[in-house]
Amino acid sequence: MAYQLATDAPEMTRLATQASALAPDAAILFDRIGVGPGWSCLDLGCGLGEVTRLLAKRVGPAGRVCGLDLEPRFLRHAEAMAPPATSYLQADALRSGLPADSFDLVHGRLLTGAASSPEALLAEALRLARPGGHVALQESDPGFTACYPGHPAHMRLKALLGRGLNESGHGAFARRLFGIFRDAGLREVGFRPFVVGCQADEPMAHWLPDTVQSLRGTILRAGWTTAEALDATLAECRAHLADPGTTQILYVMVQVWGRKP
């Protein structure tokens, strides 16, 4: 399935802002798994390579890290900032073509929905991990998106986000991940959900309008609203989110990890 979000400069800024906000929790995940010096890691759907670089720092010069993504524009950006012992590959995460049993850790964040079948993604991740190696996926559940005080423009954008992400396959994958890992036979399966939220002056404050803006092509092609109505709603929502009195829950992020038998 095609990636439904844009791949333009604003989307790259959105991804980078989001990755910075999520970095402390990525560190917690890698601590729980025990990622350390000398590990070989694969970051599926690496985007701009933010997690790939976090992993490279952890594994150090004795380790190796590979970032894989379909989108050449993202990969060019990642490659320009690549630390030593890091490589990047343009490929489909569902059919990577990489040899089996190769990695101590296979990780993917916010890719499950984009890759359209979490079972197929996990099957490929499992194939690539070495026996006893680790697989970890992180996916967002946008069902919790809310702002306080509430606002009709925010509700309209939340509805468009839900439709847009469902169209691109995200659905309720975050809620199903733990069961999918267990059904696939992984051992020591871990589950860690956390809430991503912010105040008006924080970098993620415009996450909802920015994400809907990135889904603009999908939304307009589907005819769910007109360009004029979408622009007006985006502007109204941005004004509300910029009010210092507004707070938000953006989504619940779910981290699931386990070991290949």
Q: Counting contacts by CB under 6 A, is residue 207 touching ligand SAM?
A: no
Distance (Å, rounded) from C-alpha 186 to C-alpha 131?
11
Alpha-carbon distances, residue 238 vs 99, 157, 163, 210, 248 (angstroms): 46, 11, 20, 9, 12
Binding mask of the shown chain, residues 115 to 144, with x at each position contacting ligand SAM by CB under 6 A: x-----------------------------
User: With contact defined as beta carbons under 8 Å apart, do 134 and 259 qualify?
Assistant: yes
Residue with smallest beta-carbon separation from ligand SAM: 47
Long-range CB contacts for residues 91-99, cutoff 8 Å, separation at least 24: 93/44, 93/45, 93/68, 93/121, 93/124, 94/120, 94/121, 94/124, 95/124, 96/44, 96/68, 96/124, 96/128, 98/42, 98/66, 98/68, 98/128
Question: C-beta of 69: minimal distance to ligand SAM in Å?
Answer: 5
Would you give the binding string for ligand SAM spanning residues 41-70, x where CB under 6 A is met?
Answer: ----xxx--xx-----------------xx
**Interaction of residue 3 with ligand SAM, rule CB under 6 A:** yes
Amino acid residing at 193: P
Separation CA 101–CA 183 (nearest Å): 20
Euclidean distance between CA atoms 107 and 55, whole angstroms: 10
Q: Which is nearer to ligand SAM, 74 or 257 (CB)?
A: 74
CB of residue 105 vs ligand SAM: minimum separation in angstroms?
14
Interface of this chain with ligand SAM, residues 81 to 100, rule: CB under 6 A:
92-94
Geometric angle at alpha carbon 42, from 38 and 47, rounded to 5°: 130
Q: Whose structure tokens read 């769910």? A: 224
Residue 137: name the closest of 103, 167, 181 by CA: 181
Q: Which is nearer to ligand SAM, 49 or 246 (CB)?
A: 49
Subset of residues 169 to 198 that bind ligand SAM, contact rule: CB under 6 A? none
- In the list 64, 109, 134, 206, the residue contacting ligand SAM (rule: CB under 6 A) is 109
Using the rule CB under 6 A, is 15 a contact of ligand SAM? Answer: yes
Q: Which is nearer to ligand SAM, 214 or 233 (CB)?
A: 214
CB of residue 224 vs ligand SAM: minimum separation in angstroms? 21
Stretch that binds ligand SAM, among 104-112, 162-170, 171-179, 185-193 (CB under 6 A): 104-112
Contact set with ligand SAM (CB under 6 A): 3, 15, 19, 45-47, 50-51, 69-71, 74, 92-94, 109-111, 114-115
